[in-house]
Amino acid sequence: MRALRYDAFGPPDVLRVADVAEPVPTAGQLKIRVRAAGLNPLDWKIRDGHLRWLPMLDRPPRGMGCEFAGEIVGVGGGGGGTMGHFPGQRVFGSLPPLKRQGALAEFVCVEAAQVATFPDGITFGEAAALPIAGGTAVQALVDHAHVQTGQRALITAAAGGVGHYAVQLAKHLGAHVTAVCGPANLEFVRTLGADDVIDYTREDFTRRDDPFDVVFDAAGATGFFASRAVLAPDGTYVDTSPSAAAIASSTLARIVARLGSRQRAVGLVLRANGAMWQRLANFAADGVLKPHIARTIALEDVADAQRAMETGHGRGKIVVDLSARAVA
């Protein structure tokens, strides 16, 4: 089968399309023919060694990619755990980033608990664009910030993968949404439902004098202490970046809380499992979350796509069609 691999940390040039053996499902696993896979910043942060301080991410070789959608073609024998799943079933989900196989491959094997089904009205590409970014938005705003009707929410990187879902979700939850993005995406985030938009090249949102109940730092660039100036006295700041700095910020926030502040900071670590994906499928089926797919590419074009993603100016999601071949 064709799969995207890399043998050393480095720039996108280290990626190569390889011919590798198809995986074989073990007990409790499903073998899935991947129809589409989504790209995420996490992919290139692992590839360039940015996260090598995390266990099991310290060395290649590795596959690439975390999220996928496809059809079940096989079920591992013995041991159970696959009840309710069968060949031909359409599923989407994720692979743990600590694993080495990668979702950017024609076939993957994954534990049944890591996938969920999705309705016929959702395409493979749309389903593949949901797990990591959509799950992050749901966990941040619903599970951690507990956004409620009438609250004020500010979302950074509002046009990106996580951000564009967060804007839609916050509006669905009844919040007044302020979206922070670059000038090229101001109109786009308005179409997502943003009530107010801030062009970060012209205005520093931390200097505003109207407090927010929630600051969702989808860009992971501002930090809790800079954001405190615009947080309500009992407001919540959520950071999505798996970095040492984010962990330190969250720890210091807890110390500040013990000193009397009611402001809260959460360093989010996504709960990637089938239960979360089923929540996303339900949100998508109900029209709450609508994936914006900026473009669909072939496996051979992932390196160029990651170069563009590393600039931080993307819109929505990039999806890889595993049946497509690049045109020479």
pLDDT value of residue 8? 87
pLDDT value of residue 277? 97
Kindly state whether residues 145 and 260 are assigned to the same domain: yes
The model carries a pTM of 0.92
pLDDT value of residue 256? 58
CATH, residue 24: 3.90.180.10
Give DSSP secondary structure letters for 130-195.
SHHHHHHHHIIIIIIS---TT-EEEESSTTSHHHHHHHHHHHHTT-EEEEEE-GGGHHHHHHTT-S
Residues of the chain with pLDDT under 70: 53-61, 78-81, 97-99, 241-261, 326-328
Contact 64, 26 (CB under 8 A): no
Kindly state whether residues 138 and 263 are assigned to the same domain: yes
Structural domain including 11 reads 2-129+291-321
pLDDT value of residue 62? 81
Kindly state whether residues 25 and 116 are assigned to the same domain: yes
The answer to whether residue 279 sits within a structural domain is no
The answer to whether residue 184 sits within a structural domain is yes
Kindly state whether residues 214 and 257 are assigned to the same domain: yes
Q: What is the pLDDT of residues 192-237, one digit of tens each?
A: 999 999 999 999 999 998 999 999 999 888 888 889 999 999 999 9
